[in-house]
Amino acid sequence: MTDIQAQPAHAQPLLQSMHDWLLKTRVNVANGGGTAKAIDYSLKRWVALSRYATAGNLPIDNNPVENTIRPIALGKKNSLFTGSERAGKRAAAIQSLLATAKLNGLDPAAWLRATLEALP
């Protein structure tokens, strides 16, 4: 965990400086180029990009989630053989629910058992 991630309040002045720099630099960059697209992308998503510094409970990036779903994404070719598109969508939904339970510190099997038992 980086020092900035550990104390998001320290990131706020750095983020403001970066935002100011992006705005200032964008004026001098030609439209249509890669640099302009990158700056526009960042500015368009600035609220989401900097939200972690004001929320206090959000991570600086989504690497933990990406690492959790990577096995599912890597196996997506195997999903071609789930039997049907509908079955593939159901499998993806179930895998998402189980991964979410695990990310929230729950035992996925116990959560699924309790959820299924609670259904009518």
Split at pLDDT 50, 70, 90, the class of 29 is confident
Statement: residue 84 has pLDDT above 80? no
Q: In 3D, which of 41, 99, 110, 22 has the Cα closest to residue 65?
A: 99
Split at pLDDT 50, 70, 90, the class of 39 is very high
Report the chain's mean pLDDT, rounded to a whole number: 81
Q: How many residues does the chain have?
A: 120
Question: How many whole angstroms separate alpha carbon 20 and alpha carbon 15?
Answer: 9
Q: How far apart are the first and last CA of the chain?
A: 44
Q: In 3D, which of 49, 65, 40 has the Cα closest to residue 11?
A: 49
* pLDDT at res. 7: 64
Asked if residue 65 lies in contact with residue 96, where contact means CB atoms within 8 angstroms, the answer is: no
Question: How many whole angstroms separate alpha carbon 66 and alpha carbon 53?
Answer: 21
The better pLDDT of the pair 78, 95 is held by: 95
The single residue listed with the structure tokens 């071609």 is 80
Least-confidence region, from 33-37, 88-92, 108-112: 88-92
